[in-house]
Chains A and B, each alone.
Chain A
């Protein structure tokens, strides 16, 4: 059970997340996303093997951001239709309408975040791409291109550090101001690009030497299939969403998104 999420088919898991994000955009009240967000975090905790340190860190960043968003939405809200109905929060009396809109937006963002993190923290990037290739016919040319690029990222970072210190040795000092740093990056760009193009060409040739021709007709060492539990997960997430919506309707919180902001 601890790694149920990690064992799911990556591409169907992605579809589940995207589907729910789409459904959540139609809802415009604070209550539904709050409940659903809590549910998603709970699922992640119970059924996922996750790097908790990073999960908490990422979540706290999003939390801070959403708090800022809550604040600005209230502060820069439109003229409310019923300015008389107010809420008392700490030292302020605020129009209830504005607070509801702001909370709905903020909690929606948190719900999106919890869903994305559930996916990101329980999915291996390579597995995801391999699975998209197998289940959804992503062209191998694209898929292996992305994988090769993924391998390059740390190499390029390392090279940038090298170039920066190599240029410092030549007597170019840290840039001042925006103009200076744009110029600086222009100077870095040439050796970096020259290196990257050469690397990419070499990798492409090496891939072809191993018989790669971009054909869809290939076998797979790691096979990804769709099992009942993958569909079960999709079903469960949808049903819980439905229940949440019904529940908040019953309590009278529910509201559709009708283009308000």
Chain B
């Protein structure tokens, strides 16, 4: 049994603000719980306590205790707790120290002195459990993000721990891999009867098999411990306040209920639940986004014709021909490695194509001066930190304006203040960009790209790894820009965002544009086609389809 009793923790230099405050809970072997909380609520710190890294490596103070069976973490020797508690971390890139799959799993087994002749059998067993057997000899670099997380899981499972702690294991995965990973965990948990702690800020997928929730507030206090469904029924405002994302389907039904367009017997937690317990007015499922008045004549801003891109003799993009119009909101979707990011990098002039023609306002991109291109096109990278240059938020935004040398400092100040409040960063101007939260960093990187009134804005997965509140803020910001006439081109995996915001979708598959249509047209594609493109229908469409199927079944039964 894991027993956390009255645990509090402070870091040095911040004595008055505890990271974790008097936290207590117990978890038996075979039980599962979701540990939920917003970013900065001390979730990762708690993980480090649970696997015995703190208090040994802690620069700060710890009160209270955690007992794993009879052993206190205060007396843990390095590496000993790993036999009891296995941890899978968030970042798939940094959990490994060897080059191949089998060596990585062997590494853990060697650490706990498994006899050499038993190691291979245990590797096979662990790989079997996470369905990676065919990758035994593969190099870790060649695995996808989802496979890397499964490997990390196999590594700890090989040590046969009694407890498994997962620290936001799907935050860096796309929706498809997330689904698969959660399925694998479910399989492992039922098969192995281990204790499971899942640390998360979204509920999608987990909620169908984990009932117990423990909720941490922003200040590191435990504010709820009990069944999750009850919490959603009685106090869902609290979840929203803490930035915890409900399953999309639940959110949809609850919103509909609030508008008196649906009623339910039992709160639906997955799409399957909906049919049995929800009655819904079909009109609610129509696409409802406020159309923005479009100019009659569509002006082409960017165009590419017959563009090819090769890297290391591999074809990344093939005969790309596309025109992007003024004031549009374009989503680029498709499987990982289909060339989405490469395409945006070419169109924004970061990289050059191997051959083909790209034009900005009818003029070939390579005839433009780099600094003039930057005044027209902004690009928000996946990792916002890469784009930061100066050491305060204020200077970061002012940087582009000063670069031109054409603005007076008073004008700059006004424009920076406007942009700060526009991006909800007011009052943070004096901070170092690196000290911001994930969501704030992302908004800052958007801010630096719009301050000069760029007409085109590219974004590479802007909502990736963000919690609910932060995603909403970013999308609001983009919507506002779009209303003011900026063309937005966004790479994303989130079909609900596509459905809600985009007016055009480009589907990429193996470096080619295989579909170029409005979201409504895309959702009319056959299921098999959507699946082949590694896409999914947005929730309202899934629901609509299910309800229609149900009606057909009902009609055919009654006749």
Mark A residues whose CB is within 8 Å of B: 126, 144, 147-148, 150-151, 154-155, 159, 162-163, 165-173, 187, 191, 194-195, 199, 202-203, 205-215, 217-223
Give Cα A211–Cα B371 distance, bound, in whole angstroms: 52
A183 to chain B, nearest CB (A): 11
Cβ 8 A contact of A211, one of B111, B116, B388, B400: B111
Tell me whether A167 and B387 are in contact (CB under 8 A): yes
Contacts of A191 in B (CB 8 A): 385-386, 388
- B78's partner among A170, A173, A213, A219 (CB-CB below 8 A) is A213
Given contacts A171-B374, A210-B159, A218-B110, contact A223 B116 (CB under 8 A): yes
Candidates B102, B110, B448; contact of A219 at CB < 8 Å: B110
B94→A219 contact, CB < 8 A? no
Total inter-chain residue pairs, C-beta < 8 Å? 150
Give A206 to B389 CA distance when docked, in angstroms.
30
Partner of B97, one of A147, A162, A187, A217: A147
A221 B99 Cβ-Cβ under 8 A: no
Known contacts A162-B386, A167-B387; A203 and B94 CB within 8 A of each other: yes
Can you list 6 A-B contacts with CB-CB less than 8 angstroms, sorted by A residue number? A151-B97, A166-B387, A171-B399, A173-B371, A206-B87, A211-B79
Tell me the complex Cα distance, A215–B82, Å: 15
Q: Closest Cβ of chain A: how far from B478's Cβ, in Å?
A: 18
| Other-chain residue from B79, B97, B119, B370 in contact with A213 (beta carbon distance below 8 A) | B79
Q: Decide if B381 touches A219 in the complex (CB within 8 Å).
A: no
Query: Which of A163, A209, A219 has a CB less than 8 Å from the CB of B113?
Result: A219
* B97: A residues at CB distance < 8 A: 144, 147-148, 151, 203, 206-207
**A165 pairs with B116, CB closer than 8 A:** no
Report how far A222 CA is from B383 CA in the complex, Å.
38
A169 touches B78 (CB 8 A): no
Contacts of A166 in B (CB 8 A): 381, 386-387
Residues of B with C-beta under 8 A to A218: 110-111, 113
Contact A212 B79 (CB under 8 A): yes
Contact B116 A170 (CB under 8 A): no
The B contact surface, by secondary structure, is helix
* In the bound complex, CA of A150 to CA of B107 (Å): 16
Minimum-distance CB pairs A-B, first 4:
A213-B79, A221-B106, A211-B111, A210-B108
- The residue in A144, A169, A172, A187 that gathers the most chain B C-beta atoms within 10 A of its C-beta is A169
List of B residues within 8 angstroms of A207 by Cβ? 97, 107
B400 touches A151 (CB 8 A): no
Is B48 touching A220 in the complex (CB atoms < 8 A)? no
Known pairs A155-B93, A206-B87, A209-B82; list 10 more (Cβ under 8 Å): A148-B97, A167-B386, A169-B378, A207-B97, A208-B78, A208-B82, A209-B53, A210-B82, A219-B115, A220-B110
Chain A residues contacting B394 (CB-CB under 8 Å) are none
Nearest-Cβ distance from residue A87 to partner chain B, whole angstroms:
49
> Is B379 positioned at the interface, with any CB of A under 8 Å from its CB?
yes
- In the complex, the answer to whether B113 meets A217 with C-beta atoms within 8 Å is yes
Interchain CA distance A54-B303 in the complex, whole Å: 42
Contact with A along B89-112 (1 / 0, CB 8 A): 101011111110011001111111
> Is the CB–CB distance between A169 and B374 below 8 Å?
yes
Q: Which residues of chain B in 104-145 are interfacial with respect to chain A, using CB atoms and an 8 Å cutoff?
A: 106-116, 119-120, 123, 140-141
Q: How far is the CB of B215 from chain A (nearest CB, A)?
A: 25
With CB as the reference atom, state the residue of chain B lying closest to A217.
B113
Q: A167-B387, A211-B82 are in contact. Are A219 and B98 (CB under 8 A)?
A: no
Known pairs A208-B82, A221-B109, A221-B119; A126 contacts B98 (CB<8 A) = yes
Central interface residue in B97, B111, B114, by most chain A CB within 10 Å: B97
Complex: chain A residue closest to B52, CB-CB: A208
Q: Is the CB of B400 within 8 A of A202?
A: no
Residues of A contacting B: mostly: helix
Verify if B350 is at the interface (C-beta below 8 Å from A): yes
**What chain A residues lie within 8 Å of B83 (beta carbons)?**
211
Asked whether B156 is an interface residue with its Cβ less than 8 Å from the other chain, the reply is yes
Which of chain A's residues have a CB closer than 8 A to the CB of B113? 217-219
Cβ–Cβ < 8 Å partners of A205 in chain B: 48, 53, 89
- Residues of chain A within 8 A (CB-CB) of B109 are 219, 221
Contact status A202-B94, CB under 8 Å: yes
Contacts of B265 in A (CB 8 A): none
Residues of B within 8 A of A195 (CB): 385
Partner of B91, one of A172, A194, A202, A220: A202
Is B106 in contact with A206, judged by CB distance below 8 angstroms? no
A144 CA / B51 CA spacing, docked (Å): 20
A26–B106 Cα distance when bound, in Å, is 44
Residues of B within 8 A of A147 (CB): 97-99
Q: Does B310 contact A (CB under 8 A)?
A: no
CA distance A158 to B538 in the complex (A): 33
Q: Which residues of B in the span 345-366 have a Cβ within 8 Å of any Cβ on A?
A: 345, 348, 350-351
Does B258 reach chain A (CB closer than 8 Å)?
no
Q: Which residues of B contact A212 (CB under 8 A)?
A: 78-79, 107-108, 111
**What CA separation (Å) do A169 and B387 show in the bound complex?**
8
**Are B99 and A126 in contact (CB-based, < 8 A)?**
yes
Choose among B77, B140, B381 the residue that contacts A162 (Cβ–Cβ < 8 A).
B381
Answer whether residue B403 sits at the interface, using C-beta atoms and an 8 A cutoff. Answer: yes
Residue of B82, B95, B102, B389 touching A167 (CB-CB under 8 A): B389
Q: Tell me which residues across on chain B come within 8 A of A154, comparing CB atoms.
A: 141
B161 to chain A, nearest CB (A): 10
Please determine whether A221 and B95 come into contact, CB atoms closer than 8 angstroms: no
The answer on a CB contact under 8 Å between A209 and B387 is no
CB pair A219–B141 under 8 Å, yes or no, is no
B156 touches A209 (CB 8 A): yes
Cβ of B462 under 8 Å from chain A: no
Which residue in chain B gives the minimum CB-CB distance to A223?
Answer: B116
Q: How far is the CB of B90 from chain A (nearest CB, A)?
A: 9
* Complex interface: chain A residues within 8 A of B155 (CB): 210
**A199 and B99 contacting across the interface, CB-CB below 8 Å:** no
Closest to A152 in B: B94
B448 engages A170 (CB within 8 Å): yes
- The smallest C-beta distance from A139 to any residue of chain B, in angstroms, reads 14
B152: nearest residue on chain A (CB-CB)?
A: A206
Evaluate contact between B379 and A209: CB separation under 8 angstroms: no
Q: Cβ of B434 < 8 Å from any Cβ of A? A: yes
CA–CA, A156 and B213, complex, Å: 38
Chain A: CB-nearest residue to B351: A165
Given A167-B389, A173-B370, A194-B385, A206 contacting B96 (CB threshold 8 A):
yes
B42 at the A/B interface (Cβ < 8 Å)? no
Report the minimal beta-carbon distance from A223 to chain B, rounded to whole angstroms.
6
Please report the C-alpha to C-alpha distance between residue A165 and residue B458 in the assembled complex, in whole angstroms.
Answer: 14
